[in-house]
Amino acid sequence: MSIFSSPAFEDHEGLHAFYDRPSGLKLLIAIHSTALGPAGGGVRMWPYPDDQAATDDALRLSRAMSHKNAMAGIELGGGKSVIIGDSRTDKTPAMFEALGRAVESLGGRYWAAEDVGVSPADMAHARTTTRFIAGLEGHPAASGDPSPVTAEGVKRGIELCARRTLGKSLAEIAVAIQGVGHVGALLAGKLADAGAKLVICDVGDAATSAVAARTGAKVVDPAAIFDVEADVFAPCALGGAISAETLPRLKARIVAGGANNQLADAVTGQALFDRGLIYAPDFVINGGGIINVAAEIRGIERGEAYDPAWVEAKVAAMIGTLGEVLDRSIAERRPADQIAVQMAKERIAAAKR
């Protein structure tokens, strides 16, 4: 399959492939749109089975970033990087220095930050060879790890959905969290502090044990998380969690989490809607992290310090946008993911005009 015939290709502006023999870096940077501003999106490292899988993921994730950034109301377009490799065994400082040179070669059309398999420490090495890196410490505009802001936005989104759908506060609901990595663990802490009952899973026993010890969460096997009795199912791992196979198993009334591309396809979104479940579109509810990154980029470009009040205003507006999506879904009798994509595309098209 070619790039242009991939189902994930949708008027992308560019797909850039980079290879650095000394470090072993195999990198794809996909730029979906720069209509709203330079493309912004994280760097993901994953042992993709082949080049096509990596290509499809880069295209799909960069398109999702365009939608996410548009719905977050920030001046960034959509981009994403994927490194082909195992983050547990293949990472080196030289690899991320090479990544920085690749980002630098794009001349500011793309700003990178950390994502799955990549840490702020890794990105600090990339920062030595390009200035177009965000999410780091050590300068006045620094925003730090974006995960806490992502988790805060998801918590507020869950709170909104629970109040509107169930008439309950966070202290009155049970939440099943799939994945307790950076965002999932922070989300679990925030929900537990608010009184929610938690059931969690993760592929790593150490992660689940640590979160369970802090929050009192019940731990289940990853294969069993879809069958848990809960009010909210919160996907916080990799994409595609909600599919034709897993949707019928859900007991929750609400799907709201931090993962990207939570729905396997548009058909699943329609099926979720037809079953009467409430879905908080992932690229709306999980936009807190990119808002935080945008604040850093804004500060760097303006020569200003990081502005937490600007971030708070944008996160609050993001939750307002989620409410608008849910209202329109009910009024128009259409799935929330379709409404959100339409709104994002309209905002991008308006910027192009």
Measured from the Cβ of residue 121, the count of other Cβ atoms closer than 10 Å reads: 12
pLDDT tens for residues 114-125?
888 998 899 999
pLDDT of residue 1: 55
Burial of 205-230, coded b for 16+ CB within 10 Å and e otherwise, reads: eebbeebbeebebebbeeeebbebeb
Active site residues: 80
pLDDT tens for residues 13-38?
999 999 999 999 999 999 999 999 99
- In the predicted structure, residue 246 carries a pLDDT above the cut 80: yes
User: What is the pLDDT averaged over residues 222-247?
Assistant: 95
Residue 159 sits at φ, ψ, to 5 deg, of -60, -45
When pLDDT is cut at 50, 70 and 90, the band that residue 194 belongs to is very high
DSSP state of 106: T
pLDDT of residue 8: 82
Q: In sequence order, what DSSP letters do the residues of 140-206 get, joined into one string?
A: TT----SHHHHHHHHHHHHHHHHHHHHS--GGG-EEEEE--SHHHHHHHHHHHHTT-EEEEE-S-HH
pLDDT of residue 168: 98
User: What is the pLDDT averaged over residues 236-245?
Assistant: 92
DSSP 3-state assignment of 235? strand
Q: Mention every residue, 6+ apart, whose C-beta is less than 8 A from residue 235.
A: 178, 179, 241, 242, 255, 257, 258, 259, 262, 282
When pLDDT is cut at 50, 70 and 90, the band that residue 287 belongs to is very high
pTM: 0.90
Of residues 109, 105, 127, 95, the one with CA closest to residue 40:
109
- In the predicted structure, residue 143 carries a pLDDT above the cut 80: yes
Contact yes or no for 249/230 (Cβ under 8 A): no
Q: Kindly state the percentage of the chain with pLDDT values over 90.
A: 87
pLDDT tens for residues 50-62?
999 999 999 999 9
What Cα–Cα distance (Å) separates residue 183 from each residue in 131, 252, 277? 26, 20, 23
User: What is the pLDDT averaged over residues 303-332?
Assistant: 97
Residue 14 sits at φ, ψ, to 5 deg, of -170, 150
When pLDDT is cut at 50, 70 and 90, the band that residue 88 belongs to is very high
User: What is the pLDDT averaged over residues 262-280?
Assistant: 95
User: What is the pLDDT averaged over residues 140-150?
Assistant: 88
